[in-house]
Amino acid sequence: MRIAVSGTHRTGKSTLVEDLGAVLPGHATVAEPYHLLEDEGYEFPETPSLEDYQRQLERSLESMREVRRDAVFERCPADFLAYVMCLPDAEAFDPEDWVDPIREALETLDLVVFVPVEERDRIPLPAEEDRGYRFRVGEKLSDILTGGWFGFDVEVLEVSGNRRQRLDQVLRWVRDRHDPEPKAIRA
């Protein structure tokens, strides 16, 4: 089974990926493209540019092609489409150029777990964080994943609540659909 955990920054995606990796037997966890690129020597500025997000989109597509087995991906290509579409210079980006490769990548997934920004932020934001941009990206990503934008046809599970509740929601979906007998975890 292939699952991607999606959402804007600082919503708890990494924690959920870690938790899923601990309980889904045989599943690899795949770090988000930002970290993969950093490990590969790519240097990001403090505020990523359109080109930086495009590179992350490309790396996300590469990861989904490279890892063909059961996996939990931190982010999917739709995340970066949302980020780019919310940038001030978004008009320089033509999403139609990316629709087919993104669709092909999403079709390899059994599930996209969408982690929205909740009313009460679960992860504290630095004072300099652009909260408006964060919310816009989250809303755009929700529209892309659930609104039928670009004809993407992927099953999406929106999770909410605390760490354990989010994990339980995904495991319930897994049990109902695939029954891989996840290992017990400590709360």
Residues in the chain: 187
At residue 11, the pLDDT reads 93
- Delimit the domains of the chain by residue range: 2-177
Task: Give the integer Cα–Cα distance in Å for 142 and 92.
Answer: 22
pLDDT tens digits, one per residue of 87-105 = 999 999 999 999 999 999 9
- Domain 2-177 is classified in which CATH homologous superfamily? P-loop containing nucleotide triphosphate hydrolases (3.40.50.300)
Q: What is the mean pLDDT of residues 4-22?
A: 95
Residue 186 reports pLDDT greater than 50: no
- Banded pLDDT at 84 (limits 50, 70, 90): very high
pLDDT tens digits, one per residue of 56-83 = 999 999 999 999 889 999 999 999 999 9
Task: Give the integer Cα–Cα distance in Å for 165 and 24.
Answer: 16
pTM: 0.89
Could you tell me if residue 104 is left (phi over 0), alpha (psi between -120 and 50 degrees) or otherwise beta? alpha
